[in-house]
Amino acid sequence: MFQLNDRLKNDTVEIGRLELSLLLLMNERSLPWVILVPERNGIKEIDELSADDRILLIEEIACVSKVIRHLYHPDKINVGALGNLVQQLHVHVIGRFVTDRAWPGPIWGIGLMHPYHIDELDKVLAQIRTALNGRVK
């Protein structure tokens, strides 16, 4: 049975499930930031996925990127699968703005996190789920 890494569980809120991946919202309101976690046990790297799963992951990344672009109009979308601290394969998709706290550098480890307020969290989750147009379970 698939188990989500505790750090991911503590830093995120579940949006839902795509065909391959658990889709999570980073609890950071200053940026549109989602994380895809392929629901495959023991996988640390993209190349460890089957060829079919790799294709599906890229399609899910593209889909989520389009949703972030549509909802938030970022200047750039960053996609990354670092895994240095969390060694469970997960892919960050982050809408970046020239005005954000880390631009043009990476966002990791820069400044304090700003968690969502409960009322805005519900709204953001609903917007993303709606924009995914039935792809999220």
pLDDT tens column, 72-95? 999 999 999 998 889 899 999 999
**8 Å CB contact between 93 and 64:** yes
CA distance 69 to 87: 28
Over residues 59-71, the mean pLDDT reads 98
Quote the number of domains for the chain. Answer: 1
Q: Is residue 1 part of a domain?
A: no
Q: Is residue 136 part of a domain?
A: no
Largest CA distance in the chain: 41
| Range of the structural domain that residue 85 is part of | 6-131
Q: Is residue 54 part of a domain?
A: yes
Q: Is residue 48 part of a domain?
A: yes
**8 Å CB contact between 14 and 137:** no
Q: Is residue 100 part of a domain?
A: yes
Q: Report the chain's mean pLDDT, rounded to a whole number.
A: 95
Q: Is residue 86 part of a domain?
A: yes
- CATH code, domain with 118: 3.30.428.10
Pairing of β 12-17 and β 91-96: unpaired
Give how far the C-alpha of residue 116 lies from the chain's centroid of Cα atoms, to the nearest Å: 15
pTM: 0.95
pLDDT at position 23 is 98
